[in-house]
Amino acid sequence: MRIGYGYDIHKLKKGRKLYLGGIVIPNEVGLVGHSDADVLLHAVCDALLGAAGLGDIGEHFPDTDIQFKDISSVKLLERTYELVRQKGFGIENIDCIIFAQTFRITPFKERIRKNIARVLSIGPESVNIKAKTMEGFDAVGGKKAIAASCIVLLKQD
């Protein structure tokens, strides 16, 4: 068994689509990044890579590489999981927290959970999504950013 932890944060900006967990969330603002800026999937990728001893998302998908400009983070997660599988690991479970102050995540949690499970070819019961506000503190609490963290448990196949 191997444990990995991932975290990501991106600024919010008007005129951008908001992607979380590979789905579009209707919102006036979206996240800014080199890819589609899906903070949740980036945190999941980092957790998977860390658990497998494969470094981090920036090493595999650098924001200096044009091939990753505006790429769907679903594709990054698929590629990440291929790397993890090549090392002989399978996913036992994934536990995530989305930190957002700008809207309520609860209506979207089930769709996000099922989408992540679908991308990783695991049962939805192996994915948990939680949501927290920052009670008005820091960039998230000030509605300037959204953050996500994730912990993953891998098992040797």
Q: Mention every residue, 6+ apart, whose C-beta is less than 8 A from residue 121.
A: none
The per-residue pLDDT for range 90-123, each reduced to its tens digit, is 999 999 999 999 888 999 999 999 999 999 999 9
Lay out the sheet containing 29-31: strands in order across: 29-31, 2-14, 145-156, 89-99, 127-132
pLDDT tens string for the chain (157 positions)? 999 999 999 999 999 999 999 999 999 999 999 999 999 999 999 999 999 999 999 999 988 888 888 899 999 999 999 999 999 999 999 999 999 998 889 999 999 999 999 999 999 999 999 999 999 899 999 999 999 999 999 999 8
User: What residue has token string 């919102």?
Assistant: 27
What is the C-alpha end-to-end distance of the chain, expressed in Å? 10
pLDDT of 68 reads: 85
The domains located in the chain, with CATH, are: 2-156 (3.30.1330.50)
C-alpha 70/C-alpha 23 separation (Å) is 15
pLDDT of 103 reads: 84
DSSP symbols for the chain: -EEEEEEEEEEEEETS-EEETTEEEP-SEEE-SSS---HHHHHHHHHHHHHTT---HHHHS-TT-GGGTT--HHHHHHHHHHHHHHTTEEEEEEEEEEE-SSS--GGGHHHHHHHHHHHHTS-GGGEEEEEE--TT-HHHHTTSEEEEEEEEEEEE-
Q: What is the pTM of this model?
A: 0.96
pLDDT of 63 reads: 86
C-alpha 108/C-alpha 29 separation (Å) is 16
C-alpha 134/C-alpha 51 separation (Å) is 27
pLDDT of 146 reads: 97
pLDDT of 102 reads: 86
pLDDT of 136 reads: 86
